[in-house]
Amino acid sequence: MKVTDEEKSIIKNLVGDELGEDVYTSQAIPTTIRATSRLSVKLGDSYYTFEYTEERTFPYPTEFELNYDLERDMLWDEAHKQVDRQVEDVIAIRKETR
């Protein structure tokens, strides 16, 4: 398959040439992020699925620069922590009822 000069130009504009010139970077500003953590476990003869979803909305415009990568990591940590707590609660309840 032969690539036309026009197609080469489009590709170059989208991803830059082999020298790494002018690669387009998104200019979008995230306003909301959401994380869902889910875990299924077998306890005894039963299977349980635990899930937690959290959404965070960023203030915009803001007087300070947000670190979106750190915000995303913190959100994931919170979502996983909440699911872990749910599992711990069910394990504790099951032990109490024995």
26-62, pLDDT tens digit by residue? 888 889 999 999 999 998 898 999 999 999 999 877 7
Q: What is the CA radius of gyration of the chain?
A: 23
| Domain spans in the chain, listed from the N-terminal domain onward | 27-96
Is the pLDDT assigned to residue 94 strictly greater than 70?
A: yes
Query: Residue 38 region, left (φ>0) first, then alpha (ψ -120 to 50), else beta?
Result: beta
- Strand locations in 6-87, DSSP E? 32-43, 46-57
> pLDDT digit string (tens) for 9-30?
766 666 655 555 567 778 888 8
Counting every residue written for the chain, the total comes to 98
User: What does the block give as tokens for 78?
Assistant: 């919170």
Q: 25 or 84: which carries more pLDDT confidence?
A: 84
The pTM of the full predicted model, rounded to 2 decimals, is 0.68
Query: How far is residue 59's CA from residue 66's CA, in Å, rounded to a whole number?
Result: 9
